[in-house]
Structure 1
Amino acid sequence: MNELSLLDSLFGNDGFMLPGYRETVCAPKVDVVQKKDSYILYMDLPGKTEKDVDITLKNDVLTVASVENTNDSDEKKEKTDSEYYILRERTARRSQFKRSFTLPKDIDADKVNATFKNGILSIEIGRKEDAAERKIAIKSA
């Protein structure tokens, strides 16, 4: 263990590495807010952009997943004797994730909007208006 790996214990690590793999498995942190006319999911995705994420909605299940990124341009840089990595976490591995959320029945699938700003993905899902209560007449038999 080198002294730079002590940073792991100070700052924590949300992902874990499977032996023999170069990908980190992680689950991004999410907040869900219920408003009168919508639900909003806020997902922390530091270092990602809107091009790195896929969002799907099927059968009241919202799925947010990372897009497979095969760009390893940093891997192809030539190594020199005067410079080499002693710790490499930022570009050496890709992190993949997939989160699914079962949504309540009152969602309006036609009113879903997603925005990405400053590493935070926001997904707003509209809610259907409550059906008006109506009185049912009782007929005598």
Structure 2
Amino acid sequence: MNNLINVPKSGNLTNTNSNVDLTNLSTWLNDIFNRNLPSVFNTNFNTGIALPKVNIKDTADSYIIEMAVPSLKKSDFRIDLNNDVLAISTKVKEESKQKNEKYTRREFNYSSFKRTFNLPESVNNKKINANYQEGILSVFLPKKEEAKRKLERTIKIS
């Protein structure tokens, strides 16, 4: 018994002398290897918490990064600037103790994240500032004078 498999230019497998449907096998294998990975593989295992969501606004005078980070304190954040890369990070260690009659239970909770942003050349690095209010960290990145958008105006034709 001779089983020949023809592979046409289209890439689909066909089996000319067998009861086994290799086209379905090929489709099944493609489904396995081409499907999206489960969300567990998309999480950041090193951070302990999900990365916070960010909005970035572009105004006439500056860029504003708004980061949603509720339940943290201003002192929990670290903002660094190194070679036009802005890094916002935090490391939080929470400890709670509960005593019972026969045992003590201790729970440690470490959480951290780090988000980095490549800043455009138009940012005036010397005037960057930030504030934290009601769970939103706002980082203000003022533009250099030459990069600021000028107000639109209408020019009259004479």
**Which bin holds the TM-score, normalised by the shorter protein?**
0.5 to 0.7
Distance 1:45 1:103 in 2: 21
Could you tell me which runs of 5 or more consecutive residues in structure 2 were left unpaired when the two chains were aligned.
1-41, 148-158
Aligned with residue 96 of structure 1, among 112, 129, 132: 112
Q: Which runs of structure 2 are paired with 1:98-113 in the superposition (5 Å)? A: 98-113=114-129
TM-score by length of 1: 0.63
Q: Report which of the two structures shows the higher radius of gyration computed on alpha carbons.
A: 2
Residue type of the alignment partner of 1:44: A
Question: 1:16 touches 1:24 (CA, 8 Å); kept in 2?
Answer: no
Question: 1:61 touches 1:103 (CA, 8 Å); kept in 2?
Answer: yes
Residue 95 (structure 1) shift: 2.0
- Higher RCO, Cα 8 Å, sep 6+: 1
Q: Does 1:130 align with 2:146?
A: yes
Question: 2:77 touches 2:88 (CA, 8 Å); kept in 1?
Answer: yes
Could you tell me which runs of 5 or more consecutive residues in structure 1 were left unpaired when the two chains were aligned.
1-14, 85-90, 132-141
- Matched positions, count: 103
Task: Report what 1:59 is aligned to.
Answer: 83
Q: Which runs of structure 2 are paired with 1:8-87 in the superposition (5 Å)? A: 18=45, 24-67=48-91, 69-72=92-95, 74=96, 76-79=97-100
Question: 1:37 touches 1:126 (CA, 8 Å); kept in 2?
Answer: yes
Residue type of the alignment partner of 2:63: Y
Distance 2:86 2:144 in 1: 17
Question: 1:63 touches 1:98 (CA, 8 Å); kept in 2?
Answer: yes
Task: Please give the secondary structure, in 2, of the residue aligned with 1:97.
Answer: strand
Percent identity between the two aligned chains:
33
Which runs of 4 or more aligned residues in structure 1 lie more than 4 Å from their structure 2 counterparts after TM superposition?
Answer: 15-18
Residues 32-73 of structure 1: per-residue CA shift (max 9 Å, x gap): 001111100000001101111100111111100003x3441x
Structure that is richer in helix per residue: 2
Residue type of the alignment partner of 1:106: S
Task: Please give the secondary structure, in 1, of the residue aligned with 2:128.
Answer: strand
Aligned with residue 121 of structure 1, among 123, 137, 141: 137
